[in-house]
Structure 1
Amino acid sequence: MGLLGACGAPVPPGAELNLCLRHHLAAYDWVSRDVGVTDVLPSPCLACGSRLGVRYPSGWLCAVCEWKVGDLPDGIVASTRLDVVYYLRAGQRIKIGTSANPRARLAQLSFDDLLAFERGNRLLEQQRHSQFAAHRIGRGEWFDTNDELLAHIELLRAGVDDPWNSYSLWVSEHLATHG
């Protein structure tokens, strides 16, 4: 017969404390009140767009900018402008565009994958269009998939699982330095 906790219920094998599962969970809940639990936010942070948060009994905080989820941004946060160049894939084509509000812009477009973000405005976008001009489709923002462009996108994605994480970090840094 295995160990029994102080309450008389069995202790899970390998447990570091002589507690049953129910009391382990109660202890976890007790500790998480102070340290929080990192998890996916119920909706993107209104201040920075991050999807990673910390859940406390009193509510959620964004894990990137620490904005209280549900509070509406105001002042400098609401007027924060951070231009990015975005790279999207649709079939065998890649779009290079720019936006100061990528969530709203990308919601207007039809695409298969968001490949990367790069901090920059229309000037950088135009430079990228010139850089990859040999693969441009017509006069628009779409390009045939090619090794040079894919290598550039891989450099932008280095160490980044989700392009939105980069964007959230940039917004948070911008707020910290300009707020």
Structure 2
Amino acid sequence: MERETRAPELSAHDWKILKTLQQDGRLSNSELAKRVGLSPSACWNHTRRLFETKVIRCVRALIDPKMVDRETAVLVGIVLDRSTKAVFEEFAEAARTLPQVLECYLVAGEIDYFLKIRVRDISAFNRFHSEKILSLPGVRQVRTFFVLDEIKTDGELPL
């Protein structure tokens, strides 16, 4: 699946809206309009366009993993057995189906993919590793890194 490479033209108001919503996605349109210096109707038009053009993909709650029993974060490096388009596509499709995989990156270098995984504990990861990761298509080698401390996880883009 190829991604659209051309971004829409963004106005100064669009940039203000993006920055403000990144900091607090729960703002009402009225409050957002005040903060970015627009009328509510103009703000709604800008925001709607940002969603329609997929500049804003979605708005979600950022949940504290400790509060929902998913405190263990694991980074997993995957090396595939072959470097073909079909093997890469099959792996990516299968990785997308696993809810424990929060993020999946195709990278350059000795490792083909990095996965960010959240589970309850090491025991749960061990089960996930043996039942799911090792059965992903094309996996030749798995390198596991348990996260000891999360230093920065706010996920805001520098705008």
Specify if TM > 0.5.
Answer: no
Q: Which has the larger radius of gyration?
A: 1
What band does the TM-score fall into relative to the shorter chain? under 0.3
- TM-score, normalised on structure 2? 0.27
